Amino acid sequence: RALLRIGGIPYESQTEDAHTSIRLHKGGFVSYYVNLPLVVGEAPTTVASRQLQFLRWVKGSIQLWWAQFYEPPIKMCIGQAPKRLPKDQRPSNFMLTFYAIDTMTWPLSAISALLYMFCALVFVFFAEPPLQPHDPFDISSFLWVFLPYLCLRMANNLIALQGVKSSSVWVAQEVWYAQAFTAFLGILDALYEKFLGTGLTGWKVTGEGTRTTAIEYFNVVVSMLLLFGVIIRLIVFLADDEDRLISFGSAFFAGVILVQLWPMVSMSLYELLIN
């Protein structure tokens, strides 16, 4: 019924699922997190095919964003619910706009994940915190800035993740880290294709045939560096009394990132070794 109301699945974009969901929201429907398989198709069976699929999604989302704001003749997403809908079923234009922007700009969150990885590597190898407070440390300024931010983030997460299993949240966080480099590469590739007319990676077809891709090597290299850094910091922690605090902090930070990356990295290593 929902798809019939919007005339079926829109196929005039490279990211049909995102485009379709935006059209459904404009039609008065809402989204729910169900964590259930709804369709059966040629799903990725390797890390490489999954990364290439994700790369295609990212490029499609960036192209949707570009089409919406910089090529007005093919606008298709933001604002203005259909007038034929009853008023009680018509979503607000503000929420439609907010949802559409979120759907098209989500790949940008990969930048923060890459910054976490970079900070962890710097911290664990050079024993220098990425951020250092002024000396003397002003606790009141820290609390005024950090505590409100922390409370807002916690409240936002509680509202957004109501009814979602904690295991699903953890897996989503692992995927966020493991595919951060792929998302960043997709952003650059979409912009490169826009300005120069040809992409760097193309539009890969996913499926069982794709066994390996060079994109996997980034997570493998970062994980090996983090593991090596954690081992070094643990040795320093046991051998040097003066640097124990900084060694523990850097090893813990690097370990958290390593734990997030490891599930997909372990699968990549297995597939690379048996290929």
Quick check: 24 pLDDT over 60? yes
Task: For residues 100 and 116, give the distance between their C-alpha atoms in angstroms, rounded to a whole number.
Answer: 27
Q: 146: domain range?
A: 1-35+42-274
First-to-last alpha carbon distance for the chain, in angstroms, is: 45
Quick check: 72 pLDDT over 60? no
Banded pLDDT at 228 (limits 50, 70, 90): very high
pTM across the whole model:
0.72
Quick check: 201 pLDDT over 80? no
Nearest partner of 63 among 191, 240, 210, 247, judged by Cα: 191
The answer to whether 19 touches 63, Cβ cutoff 8 Å, is: no
Banded pLDDT at 275 (limits 50, 70, 90): low
* Least confidently predicted of 73-77, 94-98, 123-127, 270-274: 73-77
Q: Could you report the per-residue pLDDT of 166-177, keeping only the tens digit for each?
A: 777 788 888 889
- Note the pLDDT of residue 152: 86
Count structural domains, the chain.
Answer: 1
- Cα-based distances in Å from 19 to 52, 131, 205, 257: 20, 40, 19, 33
Banded pLDDT at 221 (limits 50, 70, 90): very high
Pick 56 or 45 by higher pLDDT: 56
Stretch 17-36: mean pLDDT: 64
